[in-house]
Amino acid sequence: MANRPITMNKIRQILRGHFEVHGSKQLSKLTGVSRNTIKSYLRRFQETGMLFDEVNELSDEGLAQLILGPPSPLHQSDKLEVLLPLLPGIVKQLRKKGMTRQRLWEDNFEIA
């Protein structure tokens, strides 16, 4: 399942396993996290230059910001506030003959 949130406990488990010299394949089996995700987290950790003990002392919020990056500027409720005013127009467009969600997306969000 894509984009499942990973708990800070699993991230700590990945980092601990990395320092116990487990490979990404073995860590993937132990934690149930994909190898690419593990490699990404380990790369981000190595870019910080911090030691495992320093990272292990961080709070969950601090670890999340370190490994996952800063929180997104739009929280779930903010996204909803942006989306709700757009819905009547989207529904109106989709009622037109021949209009699909794909076409509506392409018409409104053209890639330059």
pLDDT tens track for 52-96: 888 888 888 888 888 877 766 656 677 788 888 888 988 999 999
In a domain, 1, yes or no: no
Of 27, 29, 25, nearest to 11 (Cα)? 27
Q: Are residues 15 and 46 in the same domain?
A: yes
| Structural domain that includes position 87 | 76-108
Specify the pLDDT at position 96. 92
Q: Based on the fold, state whether residues 22 and 54 are members of the same structural domain.
A: yes
- Residue 1 clears pLDDT 50, i.e. is over it: no
Q: Do 88 and 54 fall within a single domain?
A: no
**Which residues, other chains included, contact 66 with Cβ-Cβ below 8 Å and sequence gap of 6+?**
44, 45, 48, 50, 55, 58
Q: What confidence score (pLDDT) does residue 75 get?
A: 61
Assess whether pLDDT exceeds 80 at residue 108.
Answer: no
One domain, residues 62 and 15: yes
Separation of alpha carbons 6 and 52, rounded Å: 19
Q: What is the pTM of this model?
A: 0.58
**pLDDT band at 2; cut points 50, 70, 90:** low
* pLDDT for the residue numbered 69: 77
Question: What is the count of structural domains for the chain?
Answer: 2
What mean pLDDT value characterizes the chain? 84
